[in-house]
Chain A
Amino acid sequence: QQQVKQSPQSLIVQKGGISIINCAYENTAFDYFPWYQQFPGKGPALLIAIRPDVSEKKEGRFTISFNKSAKQFSLHIMDSQPGDSATYFCAASSKETSGSRLTFGEGTQLTVNP
């Protein structure tokens, strides 16, 4: 059972365009929503994260939009560059779990063409 659903599975964008990746969750106890970026041959690395008390967080060209009522959040990459080509994972963490756990989405492979 995938508690965090991510789409699309793959995305091709032209240089300078906007990349948008969407995630939906089911568990209303989730209280932390990070995005991880993974380059080929590397482990994932934290890119940006948001808590449900804000609707948007921006860091440089990367923005998370959060819709609590719809239980959805998305990553927007403005002015996409070829160096942004990577796999992106959304994730969520619940304060109810006794342990420390992140539930990940299925991943989106982003290709930015020059």
Chain B
Amino acid sequence: EAQVTQNPRYLITVTGKKLTVTCSQNMNHEYMSWYRQDPGLGLRQIYYSMNVEVTDKGDVPEGYKVSRKEKRNFPLILESPSPNQTSLYFCASSPDRRAYEQYFGPGTRLTVT
């Protein structure tokens, strides 16, 4: 089954404790992206990647890091999480570089206390 998977689905952590949210897609897509979803703000892009070793900032990159060492994986790293990073996070992939159609993962609910 073609899909985007994220782990963990739920995470509660404390301020300053480094964490990684994994994202993997099995569709051989070149493009991958991370979004956060907050009430009243919609989906905001954090980082995206056009291909292996090619990443770029989205609209809200502060406090996040990403890497793209393999085509299928695009982990999101929070080096020192803060409460304002409490959010619902989505990974997405797309078969085309313009990302016209994006396939989203199921989401990761992160709470930072």
Question: Which residues from chain A sit less than 8 Å from chain B, CB to CB?
Answer: 2, 6, 9, 32, 34, 41-46, 49, 89, 91, 93, 95, 98-107
Contact = CB atoms under 8 A, between A and B. Distances in A.
B40 A9 contact: yes
B42 A32 contact: no
Contacts of A106: 40-42
Contacts of B40: 9, 106-107
B97 A100 contact: yes
B99 A100 contact: yes
Interface residues of B, number: 30
A42 B106 contact: yes
B42 A46 contact: no
Given A99-B56, A100-B31, A101-B48, A44 B101 contact: no
A45 B48 CA distance: 18
Interface of B: 4, 31, 33, 35, 40-45, 48, 50, 56, 58-59, 90, 92, 94, 96-107
18 contacts: A34-B101, A41-B107, A42-B106, A42-B107, A43-B90, A43-B104, A91-B43, A93-B99, A98-B56, A100-B33, A100-B48, A100-B50, A100-B96, A100-B97, A101-B33, A102-B99, A106-B41, A107-B43
Contact of A101 (B4, B41, B58, B104): B58
Given A93-B99, A100-B97, A100-B98, A45 B104 contact: yes
Contacts of B4: 43
For the complex of A and B, 10 pairs with smallest distance between CB atoms: A43-B104, A100-B99, A104-B43, A104-B42, A106-B42, A107-B42, A46-B101, A99-B56, A44-B104, A100-B97
